[in-house]
Structure 1
Amino acid sequence: MSKTIAILIARLIFAGAFAMAAGFKFAGMEETAAQIASIGFPVPLLLAWIAAFFEVALVAAFLTGAFFSEAALIAAAYVLFLGFAFYGPSQWSDDPMKFGFFVNHFIFVAGLLFAAVHGPGDRLALRRGLIWQPQLPGESRHASN
């Protein structure tokens, strides 16, 4: 029971983090676009909208468990990309705090990778995906590895 509770809390934390990120984007799309433009990306407003809807899709995957492992892997790549793009080594001389933000992205990536490997749990999960498959009774999840 404690494993189930921990997994559900982790899923809520992942969903909450991406829901907040999407909410800030929707509430301030122009500001988000300005941040994207500040690092030299083209079509910043379009990218801001794409990012916001992408984050909403991640929230849905984390809350429902559908395509959970795929979402966690894609989210890990996204968070890693954001870490390098907005807080990478080229930013450290301007603001030493950005190094801390950079490192925090790696911690988040580690959690997402762990979640991708272990799946959404056996409770309150739609159990649909290309990677994660539900464990059948009497079958070891690690038998195929």
Structure 2
Amino acid sequence: MARAIAIIVARVIFSFIFFMAAGFKFADIGATAGYITAAGFPMPTLLTWVAAFFEIALALAFISGAFFAEASLLAGIYVIFLAFAFHGASRWQQNQAEFGFFVDHFTFLAGLLFAAVHGPERWALRYSLLK
């Protein structure tokens, strides 16, 4: 029972993080687009909307358990992309805290990979393309 509770808590945390990230984007599309522009990406407003809806999809997958392994792997790729794109080595000299943000993404990746392998446990919709 403790294992099931721990996994459900992890699913809620994953969901909350992605719902919160999407919420920040929806709250100020322009600010996020500006951040994307500063990182050198084209079409920042479009990318902001795509990221926000992608994060909503991830959050729904984590909370429901549907396509859980796929969502975990996609989220892992996404957070490592974010680490390099927005907190990479080019930013460490200007702000040492960026290195901490960079490393935090790898901690998140570790949890997502663990989740992908072990699945959503109980109380989950059991849809998957990987099994």
* TM-score normalised by L of structure 2: 0.98
Give the superposition deviation at 1:130. 1.3
Equivalence for 2:124? 125
Runs of 5+ consecutive residues of structure 2 not aligned to the other structure = none
Q: Tell me how large the CA RMSD over aligned residues is.
A: 0.6
Q: Does 1:44 align with 2:37?
A: no
2:28 matched residue in structure 1: 28
Q: Distance in 2 between matches of 1:90 and 1:109?
A: 21
1:110-144, CA deviations, whole angstroms, 9 ceiling, x for partnerless residues? 000100011111x111111012x4xxxxxxxxxxx
Residue type at the aligned position of 2:45: L
Aligned to 1:41, what secondary structure does the other structure show?
Answer: coil
CA separation in 1, counterparts of 2:117 and 2:69? 7
Distance, in Å, in 2 between the alignment partners of 1:14 and 1:37 is 27
The CA distance in 1 between the partners of 2:50 and 2:117, in whole Å, is: 26
Matched letter for residue 97 of structure 1: A
Find the aligned partners of 1:60 and 1:116 in 2 and give their Cα distance: 15
Compute the displacement of 1:24 (Å).
0.3
Q: Could you say which residue in structure 1 is the equivalent of 2:104?
A: 104
Query: Which residue number in structure 1 is paired with residue 81 of structure 2?
Result: 81
Aligned identity (percent) is: 60
> One-letter code of the match for 1:12?
V
Stretches of structure 1 that go unaligned for 5 or more consecutive residues are 134-145
Whichever structure has more helix as a proportion of its residues is: 2
Q: Which amino acid aligns with 1:20?
A: M
Aligned partner of 1:140 in structure 2 is: none
Flag as ranges the 4+ runs of structure 1 deviating above 4 A: none
**Structure 2 counterpart of 1:69, one-letter code:** A
Aligned-partner Cα distance in 2 for 1:28–1:117? 35
Amino acid at match of 2:12: L
Between 1 and 2, higher relative CO (CA 8 Å, sep ≥ 6) is seen in 2
Q: Distance in 1 between matches of 2:66 and 2:91?
A: 36
